[in-house]
Amino acid sequence: MGNGSQAGPVTRRERLKQEREERILEAAAAVFADKGFHQATIRDIAELADVADGTIYNYFDNKFDLLVGIMARIAELERLPAELVQALQGDVRDFFVKAFDERLGRIEQGQEMLQAVLPEVFVNPHLREQFYQQYVLRISTLLEQYLQAQVELGHVRPVNVPLTVRMVQSIFVGSLVLRILGDEPLQSGWQDVPEVLATLVYDGLNPGGGG
Amino acid sequence: MGNGSQAGPVTRRERLKQEREERILEAAAAVFADKGFHQATIRDIAELADVADGTIYNYFDNKFDLLVGIMARIAELERLPAELVQALQGDVRDFFVKAFDERLGRIEQGQEMLQAVLPEVFVNPHLREQFYQQYVLRISTLLEQYLQAQVELGHVRPVNVPLTVRMVQSIFVGSLVLRILGDEPLQSGWQDVPEVLATLVYDGLNPGGGG
Amino acid sequence: MGNGSQAGPVTRRERLKQEREERILEAAAAVFADKGFHQATIRDIAELADVADGTIYNYFDNKFDLLVGIMARIAELERLPAELVQALQGDVRDFFVKAFDERLGRIEQGQEMLQAVLPEVFVNPHLREQFYQQYVLRISTLLEQYLQAQVELGHVRPVNVPLTVRMVQSIFVGSLVLRILGDEPLQSGWQDVPEVLATLVYDGLNPGGGG
Amino acid sequence: MGNGSQAGPVTRRERLKQEREERILEAAAAVFADKGFHQATIRDIAELADVADGTIYNYFDNKFDLLVGIMARIAELERLPAELVQALQGDVRDFFVKAFDERLGRIEQGQEMLQAVLPEVFVNPHLREQFYQQYVLRISTLLEQYLQAQVELGHVRPVNVPLTVRMVQSIFVGSLVLRILGDEPLQSGWQDVPEVLATLVYDGLNPGGGG
DNA sequence: TATGAATGAGGGTTCATTCAT
DNA sequence: TATGAATGAACCCTCATTCAT
């Protein structure tokens, strides 16, 4: 149950290797998030992971490959938006609350890894593409389908679906950025965000709207 | 750097200096946006600006100072949200259309400089703080005041004002990020975004709402 | 290494060990000849010999020791210039043909090992001395004795014996180098070389000479 | 007179640069000849040349490029076998004496550079090709023409011209190698070599030959 | 004894910064 | 003030060697 696809390590040696790789990746994420990819040195990471410099290269081809590894880990975490998929069933406003809740929770959880990767995403075309595909586009497609269906059912006002979806996603991405920037109200009010968001995008600010 | 107040250069020599400083800053922004701060070399910038390496150090203390200079330039562009201030008067939905329009235009215009600065903003606390203050917080304050007033006037549904404002700002920031990530629908539909946005946040998706 | 005298291995285990040592040495020679001593890695050699990296260190103290081992193998091949010794008896011109034939054949045979060792011979004083002793000087002595005797017998023109011998040896060494350099005429005409050489050094180019 | 093709440096700065490049190249040749290319460190060379490590990279792309630079310098020295060409006129035996004299002198002069380059020539295909072309093949062609003509004139015994030329060249190359190996008789008798060589290859060892 | 992962010293190279001209 | 060569600290990465299993 939950073992998913990869066969886990069986021998003691294999388990040790896997643990070590994880330790290295976590150390890398921590150091990158703290100092940035370029300021971080392999030695920093090695020390935090408590291995020798050279050991890192038994697991990763080069420094950049650590970044790619972190991206892959993020992708793994993203694998199952199970709750989100479930939420696709219910009431629309409810969906938004749940969806926002799920996403924001995920953001909170993986923030360090995201913070490690994000600056380089803006700089490296390969990373950018990968990030976009796995972090943005997959969700876009899902949301577009959902929203289109709801429009056709008359549960949602007729809107420009693709752009509206982008706006919704922008809120997620933007929130993450504002959090990283250290915005205080967002920090302290994080748990209220889903409700506020749902109100904003479902009910609208117009006081004449239903709600 | 920044030369403080508006007193323009008077002598020919001063004008030349200022022009050169601008050329360097523009070159820096272009190179940083293209390759990222750390991949960019002083030589790259010097070549694009058509000066010698050493000359740059007559205008800027060090490489990082170029980034600060670019930030300052962005701040200058941000100085006058004149149209936005004007829009503060009119009808609420109208305000959103105009506000979004103004911001998105600004984003479009200064995208290269933003792209030059943004990755390092995530990495450097000093830059982060400065960016947050001048790029986010000032607008937050303005919007909070506006929204609070509109709520009190009954023109806007009672909401959690600070968080709602953050969500609105998130949309701006997030849109910028999605653009940089190369999202196609956003790219090609950019001119429709203000209207879509206003619909989303003012009217809401709820089809029962007024609109 | 080298195992000193000729006592072959007796137990199965010993035979396996010896086979393995040979496999490693051959792999080393191949890799060194191909990539050069410094470009070659222990891993390269281990892979070619189909053993683990660490195993090599059960047979050789360090990387350089592999080179020494190869030198020793060359020395073994050089052990018996039997035919050459025999040739010392006969007619002088005949001797040269046979001697050249024997040497050139040997060169051809051990070229890979020579190519593995030669570059480092120029670089490492220890190797240089060993190579000189076993590969050059022993032959010098032999040839000097032979030539001196023949001069005294009047079978050879009175010449500066030591220098003449060096010139003759230079031809061997030089031919090897030209071969390694890939000289085409030498490559394709290799089997004619002994006769050509004998003509050159015995008969001379002077058409007035006997021959 | 003698300035050859390249316009020399004119400004003081240019002269200094050129001098520095030469100093670096000479230092590189000395260090490579002493320790071998791979044992030599950039720091070694920089120290001997009395420059900073980084300075070397203002003149040469990388460490290997220093080797190529040394090869080019050797080629320059090889540019004018003026005396040799002159010797092409006279008497055959005389030609050999002069030719050997000229070549051996050249070898003596450039021995350090040769010793720096030679080991890598055996290892690096690119270097090997270049070395062969400029150091061997050009001379081969010249000598083949000369020898062919002399054969046709009846001044030289009919021989396999290409192979005979290779043997003659082997003597040069081989002598160089033996010298590097530290052969004592060759070292101390170096000035007698041309005469000994001419005797060997022109008169032959056969005492019945003319001479 | 064989294995192969861990080690860490070492070195080539880059590039921000300096400074003599 | 502009120039651009010189500087040298810093860092990624390799790989011979070790050693626990």
Least Cα distance to C107 among C130, C134, C83, C77 occurs for: C77
Find and list the nucleotides of strand E having atoms within 7 Å of a protein beta carbon: 1-21
Q: What is the pLDDT of residue D79?
A: 65
Structural contact between residues D193 and D104, judged by C-beta atoms closer than 8 angstroms: yes
Contacts of A122 in chain B (CB under 8 A): 36, 115, 118-119, 180
Query: Which tokens in the block code for residue A8?
Result: 């886990």
Has residue A136 got a pLDDT over 70?
yes
Per-residue pLDDT band for B108 (boundaries 50, 70, 90) equals confident
D191 CB below 7 A from strand F atoms? no
- D107 in contact with C, Cβ within 8 Å: no
Subunits with at least 3 CB pairs below 8 A relative to chain D? C
Angle between helices B63-78 and B92-109 (to 10 degrees): 150
Q: What is the pLDDT of residue C23?
A: 96
Interchain CB distance below 8 Å, C155 and D199: no
Interchain CB distance below 8 Å, A163 and B186: yes
Interchain CB distance below 8 Å, A163 and B155: no
**A136 vs B119, B159, B181: nearest CB:** B181
Worst-scoring range by mean pLDDT, B113-117, B145-149, C72-76? C72-76
Distance CA D94, CA D74 (A): 26
Interchain CB distance below 8 Å, A119 and B123: yes
Burial of A79 (0-12, 13-18, 19+ CB in 10 A): exposed
Structural contact between residues D66 and D25, judged by C-beta atoms closer than 8 angstroms: yes
Structural contact between residues C45 and C66, judged by C-beta atoms closer than 8 angstroms: yes
F7 nearest neighbour residue (CA to C1'): D52
Q: Which D residues in the span 116-175 are in contact with C, Cβ-Cβ below 8 Å?
A: 118-124, 128-129, 131-132, 136, 140, 154-160, 162-164, 166-175
Compare B84 and B123 and report the one with higher pLDDT. Answer: B123
Distance CA A140, CA A117 (A): 21
Query: Which tokens in the block code for residue A126?
Result: 């390969």
Least Cα distance to A17 among A45, A53, A55 occurs for: A55
Has residue B11 got a pLDDT over 50?
yes
Worst-scoring range by mean pLDDT, A60-74, B129-143, B157-171, C73-87? C73-87
- pLDDT tens for D26-55 read 999 999 999 999 999 999 999 999 999 999
Interchain CB distance below 8 Å, B203 and A204: yes
Instruction: Indicate the average pLDDT of chain A.
Output: 88
**C177 vs D35, D156, D173: nearest CB:** D173
What is each CA distance from D154 to A2, B52, D159, D197, in whole angstroms?
Answer: 94, 69, 11, 21
What is each CA distance from C139 to C84, C94, C170, D42, D58, in whole angstroms?
Answer: 10, 18, 12, 40, 49
What is each CA distance from B59 to B113, B193, C40, in whole angstroms?
Answer: 19, 40, 50
Has residue B96 got a pLDDT over 90?
no
Distance CA D55, CA B38 (A): 22
Provide the CA D126 to C1' E6 distance, Å, integer: 37
Contacts of B206 in chain A (CB under 8 A): 92-93, 156-157, 202-204, 209-211
Query: Which tokens in the block code for residue D151?
Result: 């054969």
**pLDDT below 50 — which residues of chain C?**
1-5
Per-residue pLDDT band for B8 (boundaries 50, 70, 90) equals low
Distance CA B92, CA B87 (A): 9
Distance CA A131, CA A122 (A): 10
Per-residue pLDDT band for A83 (boundaries 50, 70, 90) equals low
Q: What is the pLDDT of residue A2?
A: 42
DSSP character for B137? Answer: I
Angle between helices C111-121 and C12-35 (to 10 degrees): 60
Structural contact between residues B157 and B209, judged by C-beta atoms closer than 8 angstroms: no
Query: Which tokens in the block code for residue D28?
Result: 């590189």
The shortest C-alpha distance from B77 to chain A (Å) reads 21
- pLDDT tens for D83-105 read 666 666 778 888 888 888 888 88
| Rounded (5°) CA angle B30-B31-B32 | 95
F17 nearest neighbour residue (CA to C1'): C62
What is each CA distance from A181 to A3, A176, D197, in whole angstroms?
Answer: 37, 9, 84
Please indicate whether chains B and A are in contact, defined as at least 3 beta carbon pairs under 8 Å.
yes
Which position has the token pair 């913070």? A115
Each of the 211 residues of chain D gets a pLDDT tens digit; together they read: 444 445 555 677 788 889 999 999 999 999 999 999 999 999 999 999 999 999 999 999 999 999 999 999 988 877 656 666 666 677 888 888 888 888 888 888 888 999 999 999 999 999 999 999 988 998 899 889 999 999 999 999 999 999 999 999 999 999 999 999 999 999 999 999 999 999 999 998 888 765 5
Residue of chain A nearest B137, judged by CA positions: A183
Has residue B204 got a pLDDT over 60?
yes
Distance CA C193, CA C186 (A): 8
| Rounded (5°) CA angle B190-B176-A150 | 60
Contacts of D200 in chain C (CB under 8 A): 159, 164, 167-168, 201, 204
| pTM for the predicted model, two decimal places | 0.89
Burial state string for B39-64 with b = 16 or more CB within 10 A and e = fewer than 16 = ebebebbbebbebeeeebeebbeebe
The shortest C-alpha distance from D39 to chain C (Å) reads 9
Instruction: Give the residue-averaged pLDDT of B18-26.
Output: 94
User: Which nt sits closest to A61, CA to C1'?
Assistant: F13
Interchain CB distance below 8 Å, A209 and B174: no
Contacts of B38 in chain A (CB under 8 A): 37-38
Provide the CA C160 to C1' F2 distance, Å, integer: 69
- pLDDT tens for A139-183 read 899 889 999 999 999 999 999 999 999 999 999 999 999 999 999
Distance CA A125, CA A131 (A): 10
